Structure 1
Amino acid sequence: MQIGPRVELKQSQQLVMTPQLQQAIRLLQMSRLDTVDYLAQEVEKNPVLAIDDGGEMASSADTAREEAIDRAIARQDIGEAENGFETGRENLYEAAESYSVGGPSGAMSGGGTGRDGALADAGAQADFEETAAQKISLRDHLLPQIGASAAPRGTRALAALLVDELDEAGYLRVDIEALGARLGAHSGLAAEAVALLQSCEPTGIGARDLKECLTLQLKERDRFDPAMATLIDRLDDLAAARLAPLRAACGVDEEDLREMIAEIRRLEPRPGAAFTTGVAASVVPEVLIRRNTLGGWTVEVNPDAMPKVLLDTAYVNELGASGSVEVKAYLTTCRQNADWLIRALEQRAQTILKVATEIVRRQSGFFEQGVAALSPMTLKLVADEIGMHESTVSRVTANKFLACERGVFELKFFFTQGIASVDGGGAVSAAAVRHQIKSLIEKEDPSRSLSDDRIVTLLKQSGVDVARRTVAKYRETMNIPSSAQRKRMKAAALGR
């Protein structure tokens, strides 16, 4: 066999996406702010486009077309806008190419179903150093810790909402009782959510004031004795350098007081400051939920959150009157690109509405009773119900928000895990299964620790169908040792 360079013909097939479909998928993934920035760039490149600012830019035909689309959205008439638009091919991809939206937010492969997958501009490659230098936000740092805790599902859901109430320093400055009442959570659940939030790293997060922040950190270091508690209660004297009254109140000598003050200076009074990434933009919800006169819920898109672009017909007519063949060809290309962009924006709005409507239908208990009534729901359940691909639902729910009488929530907030029941009935939340596992282990005979297989059997007897590896995973997330380790630990505690 001869080895060397040669020219040969090869025939192959590959799945590709048209540029217009790539544009539609990019818009679907974008947040509102990213969409506004993207449209500004498109208007700058395309002279026949203009941002709809409420003026008389569009012709009467364009205005009528926009009003028809608005009426279709208000009716939730989803099917008509899909005609002639190839949304069924959202998972096709071009080989050896990548796509991105405004930076290294992630990557998508054909058919990928990652909830956080993002598309990037064709051929764009993220700078590795730029990616590594990005700072994680406080929210992204806390939510995984809350999600991995063994607390009940309602407690974890409420704690996740409290994360959005933290200020830049990491303090919780809201009225917890009022917030719990608005979300339909009793005072005990609100207190548990605050405790869960304060158990996260960095220590001091979720404190209501400076005293509580310092107290949390001292307790973690096992330095919160009565003398230190007195010093924390008299921070005003410490700030004013009134040391003599402090020594008398704490009952310590001068050297001990200096060591206590040095210990306090080593604490972090602003535990959330290390995660500050800049000025946070205000959230404008894409979907509005309101109660209707029939006792149900009406789902609407927020017109203020759905940017629109129009054709600058006056400019098109002015250039078209020149009669130049090159100008007319250029205008034709610009007009086609503008039409595709407008259709992509229409499809984006209606797809968001369609997904949000199904979310509200499945999570109606939350809107009626509060966070404790959240039901297990996955991307696949929503996708199958509305006839879309799971990856499309993932893109729709990324960085999109919903406003209702209980507050503003990210669409991803409503997706929770569930465990199938043995009899094929309603699913059981994963948090409830973890609680059952913990209860079984707490009640076990010290001389006969329950193995993971035995726990699986007991759970199936109670109606929960779960695999042994799932029990092991949940047990490890709750920092519970294996049955053999528990048996040795209990034997040592009893002096055997």
Structure 2
Amino acid sequence: MNLSLKLQMRQSQSLVMTPQLLQSIRLLQFGAMELDAFVRQAVEQNPLLEVVAPGRKAKDTSAATHSEPGPADSAPARSGPLQGAGAERGAGGVEDLADERISLLAHALREVADIFPGAPERRIGEACAMHLDDTGYLRASAADLAADLGIGQDRVSACLLTLRMRAEPAGLFATDLADCLGLQLARHGRLDPVIAIVLDNLPLLARRDFQTLRRLTGEDEDGLMDILGEIRRLDPKPGLAFARQPADIVAPDVFVTANSRGGWRVRLNTRSLPRLIIQNDYTSAVDTMAEGDRAYLAQCQQSASWLVKSLDQRARTILKVTSEIFRRQDAFLTRGVDGLKPMTLACVADAVGLHESTVSRVTANKYVQTPRGTFELKYFFTNAISASDGGDAHSAESVKLRIRRLLDEETAGAVLSDDDIAERLKEQGIDLARRTVAKYREALGIASSIQRRRELNAARLAS
């Protein structure tokens, strides 16, 4: 075996992810809030960058600005422009509206003051009100309250009993769900021993184990359905009526509105796009700066220019991809979910000349406001369901809508099984297997046919 040293030259190619390229990729997949946070951090680190507020003109000394791509017109609509399509709805800030509802704590304190005019009992009642959770349940025992107040437990229990019997709404100051329902039934004189057994076995009711409940209560099916209907009319969480939950607000990245030619106009929400300018104030003093300062300034200049170009490219890419999406989904804009067509990332990527991963990043965490509502861009990418008659394929979302409509029309005497649903869909030209129907039904949060039949019977008997 001969060993020898040789010097060889090889030529190869490899993809190198530069810091600038990584930054462009990150900007592309950022949502509006993430982008705003990233830009503000960049402005803090770079003295040459400045954020321009919407409506404010850039200074004449700026070297570059983040340009804003103009609107794009999508495919023509198949029907006339929709009425009531707000052109700028959702673009501005949301005004704070006065909420005249009082909080749960304020309401509970009023109830305490009305029930206990005397100071000692009112102090106990106020302590109880302070330990209510959002549902209106009391999350402290009489022993704990007595220890905190330094008084006897019997006195606390007596005051708490009065509150539970008299406070409105009924069920306030309950300790758990069964107690809350029992307080409401007792207020109406309906807490008999049979209903008490049902309340003691709420897990069986949740599992719809009516056979065991009939055995425990001695009631027949009609009697048990009557009890179930009465329980269903109660409020399991009376405290939530006073909850003040802030609205989940989504600022759209893109607007789609009807244009004057019967088509659709796609434009960016400029309020969600950070607008940057590069200051020239420092460049006049470059000659008097030290070598290290000049190098730092040059680095800041390069970084600022690249960020402005990256933001501009991001905006143009979002506009290009969104315009292609609604060129393909124009029927959705006129007909709603029924008009939604099957569409993949790959087909959009091929149409706009981008890589599939780029389209995936563009549509991630981005929202579009349409005449049909505000949706995440990912919503418009759905699988294809083949047509039984050889026609155009159907989108998965439109098929789910048809399933929901079929089940909304059910009655107690005509509950559809998954096989029945598959047969009905086939009559409508949709070829879908029973197991796929079951998967879509579960994704919609709809119970099985057996559970739905029981609930419909209970609702019929309770009405």
Q: Could you state the TM-score of these two structures normalised by the residue count of structure 2?
A: 0.51
In the alignment, does 2:260 pair up with 1:293? yes
CA deviation vs aligned residue, 1:251-288 (integer Å, no higher than 9, x gap): 614x9549738959x9974999xxxxx98873211111
Deviation at 1:479, TM superposition (A): 9.0
In the alignment, does 2:294 pair up with 1:354? no
SS in structure 2 of the partner of residue 250 of structure 1: coil
Where does residue 393 of structure 1 map in the other structure?
Answer: 359
Matched residues in 1 for 2:62 and 2:49: separation?
Answer: 15
Q: Which moved more, 1:361-370 or 1:415-424?
A: 415-424
Deviation at 1:439, TM superposition (A): 8.1
Contact 1:291 1:298 in 2 (8 A): yes
SS in structure 1 of the partner of residue 22 of structure 2: helix
Select the residue among 391, 394, 405 that pairs with 2:371.
405
Where does residue 246 of structure 1 map in the other structure?
Answer: 186
Where does residue 17 of structure 1 map in the other structure?
Answer: 17
Change (3 A) 1:346 1:360: same
Matched residues in 2 for 1:427 and 1:412: separation?
Answer: 19
Where does residue 74 of structure 1 map in the other structure?
Answer: 70
Q: Which has the higher contact order (CA 8 A, sep 6+)?
A: 2
Residue type of the alignment partner of 1:381: C
Change (3 A) 1:405 1:76: closer
Residue type of the alignment partner of 1:332: A
Residue type of the alignment partner of 1:59: D
Matched residues in 1 for 2:62 and 2:250: separation?
Answer: 33
SS in structure 2 of the partner of residue 408 of structure 1: strand
SS in structure 2 of the partner of residue 314 of structure 1: coil
Where does residue 199 of structure 2 map in the other structure?
Answer: 260
Contact 1:288 1:402 in 2 (8 A): yes
Superposition map of 1:134-153 within 5 A = none
Where does residue 329 of structure 2 map in the other structure?
Answer: 363
Matched residues in 2 for 1:61 and 1:370: separation?
Answer: 46
Contact 2:51 2:277 in 1 (8 A): yes
Cα RMSD (Å) of the superposition?
4.7
Superposition map of 1:270-281 within 5 A = none
SS in structure 1 of the partner of residue 392 of structure 2: coil
Where does residue 84 of structure 1 map in the other structure?
Answer: none
Change (3 A) 1:29 1:336: same
Change (3 A) 1:432 1:410: closer
Identity of aligned residues (%): 36
Where does residue 436 of structure 2 map in the other structure?
Answer: 474
Change (3 A) 1:479 1:440: closer
Residue type of the alignment partner of 2:260: T
Matched residues in 2 for 1:372 and 1:357: separation?
Answer: 20
Contact 2:170 2:238 in 1 (8 A): no
Superposition map of 1:120-269 within 5 A = 236-239=169-172, 246=186, 249-250=189-190, 252-253=192-193, 257=196, 260=199, 269=237
Change (3 A) 1:380 1:429: same
In the alignment, does 2:274 pair up with 1:307? yes
SS in structure 2 of the partner of residue 26 of structure 1: helix
SS in structure 1 of the partner of residue 288 of structure 2: coil
Deviation at 1:423, TM superposition (A): 8.4
Q: Could you state the TM-score of these two structures normalised by the residue count of structure 1?
A: 0.48
CA deviation vs aligned residue, 1:343-382 (integer Å, no higher than 9, x gap): 1000010111111111221111221122322222221221
Matched residues in 2 for 1:418 and 1:407: separation?
Answer: 23
Residue type of the alignment partner of 2:17: M
Residue type of the alignment partner of 1:32: A
Matched residues in 2 for 1:15 and 1:382: separation?
Answer: 24
In the alignment, does 2:60 pair up with 1:59? yes
Where does residue 47 of structure 2 map in the other structure?
Answer: 47
Where does residue 379 of structure 1 map in the other structure?
Answer: 345
Where does residue 150 of structure 1 map in the other structure?
Answer: none
Q: Decide which structure has the larger Cα Rg and report it.
A: 2
Matched residues in 2 for 1:36 and 1:380: separation?
Answer: 29
Where does residue 159 of structure 2 map in the other structure?
Answer: none
Contact 2:364 2:378 in 1 (8 A): yes
CA deviation vs aligned residue, 1:299-351 (integer Å, no higher than 9, x gap): 11111011122112113434x14243332222112111111110100001011
CA deviation vs aligned residue, 1:422-459 (integer Å, no higher than 9, x gap): 887522334649979x9894499xxxxxxxxxx9xx98
Matched residues in 2 for 1:350 and 1:473: separation?
Answer: 42
Contact 2:251 2:367 in 1 (8 A): yes
CA deviation vs aligned residue, 1:207-261 (integer Å, no higher than 9, x gap): xxx9xxxxxxxxxxxxxxxxxxxxxxx98444499969837742614x9549738
Q: Structure 2: give runs of 5+ residues left out of the alignment.
A: 2-6, 74-134, 136-166, 175-181, 207-234, 407-415, 443-463
Deviation at 1:15, TM superposition (A): 2.0
SS in structure 1 of the partner of residue 343 of structure 2: coil
Contact 1:76 1:350 in 2 (8 A): no
Matched residues in 1 for 2:184 and 2:268: separation?
Answer: 64
Contact 1:383 1:389 in 2 (8 A): yes
Change (3 A) 1:56 1:360: closer
Residue type of the alignment partner of 2:46: N
Residue type of the alignment partner of 1:397: T
SS in structure 1 of the partner of residue 281 of structure 2: helix
Residue type of the alignment partner of 2:186: L
Contact 1:57 1:312 in 2 (8 A): no
Matched residues in 2 for 1:244 and 1:348: separation?
Answer: 58
CA deviation vs aligned residue, 1:70-90 (integer Å, no higher than 9, x gap): 3xx11549xxxxxxxxxxxxx
In the alignment, does 2:394 pair up with 1:428? yes
Matched residues in 2 for 1:332 and 1:306: separation?
Answer: 26
Matched residues in 2 for 1:247 and 1:56: separation?
Answer: 66
Q: Structure 1: give runs of 5+ residues left out of the alignment.
A: 2-7, 78-209, 211-233, 273-277, 445-454, 481-496
Where does residue 344 of structure 1 map in the other structure?
Answer: 310
Matched residues in 1 for 2:341 and 2:349: separation?
Answer: 16
Change (3 A) 1:442 1:404: closer
Deviation at 1:59, TM superposition (A): 3.1
In the alignment, does 2:36 pair up with 1:36? yes
Contact 1:287 1:299 in 2 (8 A): yes
Matched residues in 2 for 1:16 and 1:251: separation?
Answer: 74
